[in-house]
Amino acid sequence: MHDDLKLFIELAEFLISEETNNPVAIPIDTKKLYDTIDIELHDEPTIDDTFKDTLKEIIRSTPKTASKAFFNQLFGGRISRATLGDLLAVMLNNSMYTYKVAGVQVGIEKIILQSICERIGYGENSDGTIAPGGSMCNYMAMLMARDAFDASIRNEGMSKTLIAYTSDTSHYSVTKNASFVGIGRHQVRSVKTNAKGEMLPEELELQIKEDLDKGYHPFFVNATAGTTVLGAFDDVVKISQICKVHHLWLHLDGAYCGSVIFSKQYKHLVEGIALTDSFSVNAHKMLGTPLGCSIIVTKDKKHLYQSFSNDADYLYQTDDDAFNLGKTSLQCGRRNDALKLWTLWKSVGNNGLEKIVDYQFYLANVARDYIRSNSDYTLYSFDNSISVCFNYKGISAESLCTKLYEHSKLMVGYGTFRGNTFVRLVTINTQVEEKDMLLFFKTLENFVDSEDF
């Protein structure tokens, strides 16, 4: 192991220097991929020096998500205290299903879940789990809602038409999950949004009434804290009132921006969160931990047991169920995704997490101010969003983003809302400084000057 640890340090140093010197790796055409790097598997072993060279080649060519030129997705950067925790989790290699096998790591996950439940005002009976991604958190929420509506579905299967509601700007996983849950994709209603991409509560109410009139069974509403393109926040208070009247489960998908719960200045964006039945958040987005760290909590933990526990005497042989986390998780064997968030949280405290969140809004304001002060730009995003959406000189966002990538200048993506396609700059990397933000715009402008658009 010592040799490989040494090799690891060498490779990690190499990666860090590449991130600085070549922040956007040269893209390899998929048709040439297998000829460019020796990734084929053979009968014979690879000698150490070749192995190392190949690894370096792979590192050189891999997109650099921690570089200061990466704005492409809803994650990015590297907060070293969180990475440290994940490296340790790999070395420790526990599986989180039982206390016997994971020990104190179970306590670490439970502390994180409890702290989040307390922070959002969920009360004594709440609990949660860590799932393999925000999409799977939404899946778990819909499953709990289905079983809360009718527990017999677990054994008998579906016999009624259950209807779920989510806004037309929400994450695609909601529709996809409806097929896994057994209600069917066509039973997901896409509720209209306002000009900011926020769900219209009156449209939700109308839809529910229409479905009730048809004899269908509304059971679940998905609200979003930070929509994937614009970063919009649905009005939880208003939506919760409608859910209460019609006895619907309310889930708040905070995968992108649910971490505003850590900020005194921005937690108003999820006002009413205590009124929801479940809430999910990706720590690997706004909190900057390595992928993935997706947390789902529910106000009444009985729903977790109702939907996810199964007896297995070959597995659960010791300790009380509250410490055997396999009883409330989607998976059986489960990697330790808690430790990376804990090492970060423990080292910076609540105040540090708050700074991380606030800084992203600060950076977004820097970017928006720059755009507003320059008439070559058109701004599409709103305040209180860390997705800064814009166009430059009327150039097609699609071709601009693609060319910036092909020429190894910047990694940034585009999105569409109401017929407009625009560049979506995500200010989620807290290692990015104001000067880097301004450099982003300069790089883009110089590139446009030097190319034909």
Ligand X SMILES: *Cc1c(COP(=O)(O)O)cnc(C)c1O
Residue number, 52 or 192, with CB nearest to ligand X? 192
Rule CB under 6 A: is residue 444 a binding residue for ligand X?
no
Chosen residue from 253, 300, 337, 354 binding ligand X by CB under 6 A: 253
The minimum distance between CB 256 and ligand X, in angstroms, equals 3
CA angle 26, 29, 35 (to 5 degrees): 100
The minimum distance between CB 294 and ligand X, in angstroms, equals 5
The minimum distance between CB 197 and ligand X, in angstroms, equals 11
Rule CB under 6 A: is residue 266 a binding residue for ligand X?
no
The residue with tokens 């569409």 is 416
Which residue is at the shortest CB distance from ligand X?
Answer: 134
Q: Which positions from 222 to 241 touch ligand X by CB under 6 A, shown as an x/- string? A: --x-x-x-------------
Q: From 150-158, 188-196, 221-229, 339-347, give the range in contact with ligand X by CB under 6 A.
A: 221-229
Rule CB under 6 A: is residue 255 a binding residue for ligand X?
yes
- Cβ atoms 401, 412 nearer than 8 A: yes
Residue number, 173 or 207, with CB nearest to ligand X? 173
Query: How many angstroms separate the CA atoms of 37 and 61, rounded?
Result: 9
Q: From 5-13, 87-95, 129-137, 145-153, give the range in contact with ligand X by CB under 6 A.
A: 129-137
The two tokens of residue 85 are: 């925790």
Rule CB under 6 A: is residue 134 a binding residue for ligand X?
yes
The two tokens of residue 71 are: 């704005």
The minimum distance between CB 136 and ligand X, in angstroms, equals 6
Backbone phi, then psi, for 295, in 5-degree steps? -110, 135
Using CB under 6 A as the binding rule, the residues of this chain from 290 to 309 that contact ligand X are 292, 294
Tell me the C-alpha to C-alpha distance, in Å, between residue 428 and each of 72, 358, 397, 434, 435. 10, 10, 20, 13, 15
The minimum distance between CB 257 and ligand X, in angstroms, equals 8
Q: Judging by DSSP bridges, how do beta strands 278-282 and 249-254 pair with one another?
A: parallel
The minimum distance between CB 138 and ligand X, in angstroms, equals 6
Query: How many angstroms separate the CA atoms of 190 and 207, rounded?
Result: 9
Tell me the C-alpha to C-alpha distance, in Å, between residue 286 and each of 58, 96, 98, 209, 337. 28, 24, 29, 36, 16
SS3 assignment, position 422:
strand
Total residues found in the chain within this entry? 453
Chosen residue from 98, 135, 276, 328 binding ligand X by CB under 6 A: 135
The two tokens of residue 168 are: 């037309």
Residue number, 324 or 430, with CB nearest to ligand X? 430
Residue number, 357 or 444, with CB nearest to ligand X? 357
Q: Which positions from 151 to 180 touch ligand X by CB under 6 A, shown as an x/- string? A: --------------------x-x-------
Residues 315-322: contacts with CB under 8 Å, at least 24 apart: 315/97, 315/98, 316/98, 317/98, 317/100, 318/98, 318/99, 318/100, 319/98, 319/99, 319/100, 322/110
The two tokens of residue 190 are: 């896409």
Rule CB under 6 A: is residue 76 a binding residue for ligand X?
no
Residue number, 24 or 255, with CB nearest to ligand X? 255
The minimum distance between CB 254 and ligand X, in angstroms, equals 8
* Count of residues of this chain found to bind ligand X when the rule CB under 6 A is applied: 15
SS3 assignment, position 219:
strand
| Contacts with ligand X, residue ranges (CB under 6 A) | 74, 133-135, 171, 173, 224, 226, 228, 253, 255-256, 282, 292, 294
